[in-house]
Amino acid sequence: MADPGIPALAPGSTIGILGGGQLGRMLALAAARLGLQCAIYAPEADSCAFDVVRHFTLASYADEAALARFAQSCDVITYEFENVPAATADVLSRYKPVLPHPRVLALTQDRLVEKDFIAALSIPTAPYAAIDSESDIAAAVAKIGLPAVLKTRRLGYDGKGQRMVGKDGDPVSAFRALNSVPCILEGFVAFEREVSVVAARAADGEVVSFDVTENEHRDHILKTSRVPAAVSDRVAAEARHVAESIASAFGYVGVLAVEMFALGSDTGGRVLVNEIAPRVHNSGHWTLDGASVSQFEQHIRAVAGWPLGHPIRHGQVEMTNLIGAEVHGYARWLTEPGTTVHLYGKGEARPGRKMGHVTRVIPDR
């Protein structure tokens, strides 16, 4: 059923998860349903994933002794965020399998390396050029044109670490505003919609993807996901094919998400890959209530060496994030027909912080 290197875990085994946010929390809950234990490792004392597991480690990602103890208590180790330091993954790999393989981290932590990898698979992206210093800016602008989006190569999320450069904008001040760290300049894509595909790959090479999801962002943060996405069957098939090809090319084990821009039929009707998340993803939260097997369960199954599920969607599904103070209005969703409320148990509802989500399912007639 699995690679010889990845034995199928028996119920009662322990999966270690690096990262203590809501993704780790929902992974641990999914594991619990399958009779598997999770241990969480995170450096933040208020990690909301700690609340749902019996064993957690509160320590820095650089604490080799703590990492070694943690690894020894687990059967396999995975992660809920992509900025796991390479050295942390190396230390853990000395003791136990780390899945998805840490080489995927190196490929997805740097937007330039990631885009080069995607381009090498002949999968289209927005045009892009590297900017390492101010002396690269003129050539990059000449190649890509304006408007464009300047993004730091590393550590960007929820729109942090990027600046829009308008048609008459000043790329030099944008670069300086990003502290002159290495960047890529990306052509601005006048997309028709943003979509994503969450795909799981098992150690035996089987790949199973969820239906294409349509995503709406507000202030660069995901606000709403709807499934099925309002795209043609051809675009949907292409989007799934792209995500499945990326999972196979990585030799991936686990769940990944591929964010894409779907172009209108007037501009070719293609999909361009925006970015890859080597983990469960916010745009897959709808699968918890809207499908027979969730993205979290798929990830747990994959890293446990179990067969993947073959999810069936329960209807049209809409997932809405509760961001910052919006969470205080959770009660109004509790009585909405067909609606499920998820609160992450985080402390302070700071602006921009993902505090929970609600899912609405409308069964197909």
Ligand X SMILES: Nc1ncnc2c1ncn2[C@@H]1O[C@H](COP(=O)(O)OP(=O)(O)O)[C@@H](O)[C@H]1O
Closest CB 162 distance from Mg ion, rounded Å: 10
Closest CB 111 distance from ligand X, rounded Å: 8
Q: SS3 for 317?
A: strand
User: Please, are residues 137 and 171 in contact by the beta-carbon 8 Å criterion?
Assistant: yes
Q: SS3 for 257?
A: strand
* H or E element in which residue 128 lies: strand 128-131
CA atoms within 13 Å, Cβ hemisphere of 79: 23
Q: Which is nearer to ligand X, 149 or 291 (CB)?
A: 149
Q: Which backbone phi and psi does 213 adopt, to 5 degrees? A: -110, 140
- Residue whose Cβ sits closest to ligand X: 189
CA distances to 91, 138, 274, 340, 354 from 254, rounded to whole Å, are 20, 41, 20, 26, 23
CB contact set of 136 (below 8 Å; sequence gap of 6+): 129, 130
Closest C-alpha among 258, 257, 354, 260 to residue 298 = 257
CA atoms within 13 Å, Cβ hemisphere of 192: 15
Q: Which is nearer to Mg ion, 40 or 178 (CB)?
A: 178
Residue numbers 249-268 binding Mg ion by CB under 5 A: 259
Q: Which is nearer to ligand X, 64 or 158 (CB)?
A: 158
x-marked contacts with ligand X along 263-292 as a string, rule CB under 6 A: -----------xx-----------------
Q: Which is nearer to Mg ion, 37 or 282 (CB)?
A: 282
Residue numbers 142-181 binding ligand X by CB under 6 A: 149, 156-159
- Which listed option, ligand X, Mg ion, none, makes contact with residue 211 (CB within 5 to 8 Å by class)? none
Residue numbers 42-71 binding ligand X by CB under 6 A: none
Considering only 80, 82, 114, 194, the residue that binds ligand X (CB under 6 A) is: 194
Closest CB 323 distance from Mg ion, rounded Å: 15
Residue 220 binds ligand X, judged by CB under 6 A: yes
Q: Is 69 exposed, middle or buried (0-12, 13-18, 19+ CB in 10 A)?
A: middle
Closest CB 173 distance from Mg ion, rounded Å: 24
Q: SS3 for 275?
A: strand
Residue 105 binds ligand X, judged by CB under 6 A: no
Q: Which is nearer to ligand X, 151 or 360 (CB)?
A: 151
Residue 82 binds ligand X, judged by CB under 6 A: no
User: Please, are residues 72 and 41 in contact by the beta-carbon 8 Å criterion?
Assistant: no
Considering only 82, 186, 214, 297, the residue that binds ligand X (CB under 6 A) is: 186
d(CA 287, CA 359): 9
> What's the one-letter identity of residue 334?
L
Q: Which two tokens stand for residue 193?
A: 């919609």
Closest CB 236 distance from ligand X, rounded Å: 19
| # residues contacting ligand X (CB under 6 A) | 15
Considering only 7, 66, 188, 349, the residue that binds ligand X (CB under 6 A) is: 188
Considering only 80, 82, 211, 259, the residue that binds ligand X (CB under 6 A) is: 259
x-marked contacts with ligand X along 114-133 as a string, rule CB under 6 A: ------------x-------
Q: Which backbone phi and psi does 62 adopt, to 5 degrees? A: -100, 0
Where do the H-state alpha helices sit in 259-334? Answer: 287-290, 295-303, 331-334
Q: Which is nearer to Mg ion, 46 or 219 (CB)?
A: 219
d(CA 168, CA 29): 49
Residue numbers 298-317 binding Mg ion by CB under 5 A: none
Instruction: State how beta strands 14-18 and 76-79 pair.
Output: parallel
The site for Mg ion (CB under 5 A) is made up of: 259
The site for ligand X (CB under 6 A) is made up of: 126, 149, 156-159, 186, 188-189, 194, 217, 220, 259, 274-275
